[in-house]
Amino acid sequence: MSPPKNKPVAAHATNFIRNIIEQDLAKGTHALRTWGGKPGPAKAHAGAAPDPARIRTRFPPEPNGYLHFGHAKSICLNFGLARDYGGVCHMRFDDTNPEKEDQEYVDSILDAVRWLGYDWTANGNEHLYYASDYFDFMYEAAEYLINTGLAYVDEQSAEEMRANRGTLTEPGTASPHRSRSVEENLQLFREMRDGKHAEGSMVLRAKIDMASPNINLRDPAIYRIKKATHHRAGDKWCIYPMYTYAHPIEDGLEEISHSICTLEFEDQRPFYDWLLDQLVNGGLLAPPRPRQYEFARLNLTYVVLSKRKLIQLVEGKHVDGWDDPRMPTLAGARRRGYTPEGFRLLAERIGVSKSDSWIDFSQLEDCMRESLNETALRRVAVLDPLKLVVDNYPYGQEEECHAPNHPQKHELGKRAAPFSRELWIEREDFMEKPSTGYFRLFPGNRVRLRYGFVIECTGHEKDGAGNVTAVHCNYFSDSKSGTPGSDTYKVKGNIHWVSARHACKTEVRLYDRLFKEPHPGSGNRDYIQDLNPESRRVIHAYLEPALSDAKPEECFQFERHGYFVADRADSKPGAPVFNRAVTLRDSWNK
Ligand code: ATP
Ligand code: MG
């Protein structure tokens, strides 16, 4: 096994899938598998060496959109299980539906999985697969089903098929084409493949049981005609397998031991099992066959997690593209300054269960804060600036103050912050008439300029409208932080500042939640109406000079304000633009 790319972020809470895997490993359920070195039918694995992977899982997105936060749960689960149990997780594109798929999505998905800290190389082999590479086998398997009397070509219209499917309480009605001969079915299916029939004129259906209590077993369609160009297979095919037919075959060819999917596929499991049993018993696929296990999808408040809705947000220009920092996509998260560690922490915390529930968005934010707190260097930024003039500090003079890069990690050292006669402070750090309990600047009061000097407020200026435009003070030259005797000054307030002459003025985007409602679109509203109009506020802030050479994607804690990342798209060398990832504490509802 190649060494794990990342360590588990916390002790694992066990879950039902881990229990199943541990039982399988104890029983040796998969111990006898052989692996031919790449996915393939039974004959490709027969006689090969024992599978070096103790389990095989897969992450199988359809390349029809960008990955969202929900996919992160599935990625952490599948890749994490393979890592923890000496297995391999396959990265597989479930690209069986030509119309909506695109290379752009393939690229972004691979990027996102790598960004989360996972990869699909094991034992020197890349386990990156495309379902479209299995089209030949899927076709052969369909002919096999026809030959064994388990599939037929149906020419009913879509409406007829729907009407004849029956209901939960009534059995379905057999199609008039259900009893065609094997020869006739084979001929028609080949004609379908050869483009001799129109789209929608016929489908291939599995022949199972029109009276089954599970409607999915009432002769599901397995192949349809689609005269579409596939993003990888080109125009080779004009028939394409249905998802429910393709997916078990993909798992079978890849010898997936534990095929983990979301709960909505539970009703499909009997067909999954039926199909794999036919193909394993027929000698087409190697035993033991894969098993499907379902878990609850991630539902998060204040966002939507469905590719269809995310596409609407992009196409309707409600956001600036898939990687808009407000989007619940992994590409958006990356620009926002969220971290892979934060997502892995969330996946651990929320666990894996069999029943649907909602996770509050603040849980995700807490995980991001925890992860960023570890790594982000501390910096000072004044977001709402007010001028402070140190009247007794000589014109033209400057000196350095020193501030720790991380309060808990002294090994990360200090950086120099220049001090001079004119500074920027936060507007909220001065009050002309202080309210009770206000310890910051007001006329006559003393505070410490954090990591710098103690000052005493001597006055302020106002414009015609009564707005404070500047504050004046004197400093005590023997009060500099870190110098002997400086602690003899006892002050209650401690405020942030940056030197006006040295400050780096830059654009800062203050992002907030994309939706203002916890359940966008609930109560029959259009979810678009629940968009938060204040999800982005753009300001110009004064940053300490150490921030001016921040590299794209570097994250910092702006003291007291939150965690910010240098935008990976819009920052220029020497001129970073910052995005707020998350505030320091959950300020929502406060
Ligand atoms: P959507 O429903 O948003 O369109 P999808 O299920 O169609 O997503 P796929 O590309 O088919 O997206 O998904 C790839 C894998 O990610 C699947 O195994 C799927 O079960 C899983 N997945 C998708 N959404 C979630 C979610 N919200 N929580 C956990 N896993 C998810
Ligand atoms: Mg889907």
Helix (H, G, I), strand (E, B) or coil at 504: strand
pTM of the model: 0.94
Pocket test for ligand 1, best of 71, 130, 251 (most atoms within 8 A of CB): 71
Instruction: Give dist(CA 270, CA 165) in Å, integer.
Output: 17
The residue contributing the CA closest to ligand 1 atom 25 is: 70
CA 399 to CA 418: how far, in whole Å? 6
- Mean pLDDT over residues 446-457, rounded? 98
- Full set of structural domains in the chain with CATH: 16-133+242-298 (3.40.50.620), 136-241 (3.90.800.10), 307-377+506-583 (2.40.240.10), 381-496 (2.40.240.10)
Predicted pLDDT of residue 229: 95
pLDDT in tens, 530-571: 999 999 999 999 999 999 999 999 999 999 999 999 999 999
Ligand 1-lining residues (CB < 6 angstroms): 60-62, 70-71, 73-74, 261-262, 297-298, 305-307
Arithmetic mean of pLDDT, 497-514:
97
The three-state secondary structure class of 474 is strand
pLDDT at 102: 87
pLDDT at residue 2 greater than cutoff 60: no
Residue 297 bears catalytic tag = yes
Average pLDDT over residues 239-255: 98
For ligand 1, atom 4, name the residue with the nearest CA: 307
- For 101, counting Cβ atoms within 10 Å of its Cβ (0-12 exposed, 13-18 middle, 19+ buried), the class is buried
**What's at 230, amino acid-wise?**
H
Is residue 379 part of the annotated active site? The answer reads no
pLDDT at 50 over 80: yes
Neighbours of 183 (CB within 10 A): 10
Residue with more model confidence, 180 or 586: 180
490 part of the active site:
no
Task: Pick the residue whose CA is nearest to atom 6 on ligand 1.
Answer: 61
From the CA of 223, how far away is ligand 1's center (Å)?
23
Query: Cβ distance 432 to 440 under 8 Å?
Result: no
Say how far apart CA 404 and CA 375 lie, in whole Å: 14
The proportion of the chain whose per-residue pLDDT surpasses 70, expressed as a percent, equals 97
CA 358–ligand 1 middle distance (angstroms)? 16
The two structure tokens encoding residue 555: 């994250």
pLDDT at 185 over 80: yes
Block residue for tokens 């060398």: 573
- pLDDT at residue 228, rounded to an integer: 95
Active-site residue identified among 5, 18, 38, 62: 62
Residue 12 has what pLDDT? 65
